[in-house]
Amino acid sequence: MASLKRQNGTVETDIRLIQEGLAPLGVDLQYWPTGGSERLQALLAQASLDDNEKEELLQALDHYFEQLKRNAGYQTRDLIVIHADLPNLDAMLAKFDKCHTHADDEVRYVVDGEGVFGFVLPDGQQVELTMAAGDYINVPHSTEHWFRLTPMRRVKAVRYFTSTAGWVPEYTATPICL
């Protein structure tokens, strides 16, 4: 389940209060259970997956994708699998650990592990949202944010796209205070 750390050090774990805290940014946070088939749980437990296993996992969760296609016009999805033994992990993560925006929404559904999205609120305060399995987020385009892993250094997330063209990070000069 998600938790929100505020710049003053307080931590919120109630999803409704987290949603309220992110509302000024238009961020949509929801909890979507992954389901319980034994095969799905076995795939989620693996640190790495081959392309066939990724597709199998995606297909097992496609009921959410079908909703997004109908309701929001999403066209494609993929699965990113990040773990501590991934070659060039730190270089890959360095692209996203600085404040940036995107021309398109950033939509993620964490199905295993943990990741942290940081945000700059309209008043300049900063917050960090730690996401875990079952947490879905839609970060609207042009929202200043950053991403990093927790010390677990493992996350599997379904990424949803209306188009991949607008997903290049556009860095801002905002320093991260958390």
145 is in an annotated binding site: yes
83 is in an annotated binding site: no
What's at 130, amino acid-wise? T
Asked if 114 contacts 157 with a C-beta cutoff of 8 angstroms, the reply is no
Asked if 120 contacts 144 with a C-beta cutoff of 8 angstroms, the reply is yes
Question: What sign does the dihedral 155-44-46-168 (CA atoms) show?
Answer: negative
102 is in an annotated binding site: yes
63 is in an annotated binding site: no
- How many alpha carbons lie under 13 Å from residue 103 in its C-beta half-sphere? 6
Asked if 57 contacts 79 with a C-beta cutoff of 8 angstroms, the reply is yes
Asked if 79 contacts 157 with a C-beta cutoff of 8 angstroms, the reply is yes
Local structure of residue 22 (DSSP, 8 states)? H
Position of tokens 């799905």?
Answer: 40
The rounded distance, in Å, linking the Cα atoms of 40 and 104 is: 30
What are the binding residues?
100, 102, 106, 145
What are the binding residues for Fe(2+)?
100, 102, 106, 145
What are the binding residues for Ni(2+)?
100, 102, 106, 145
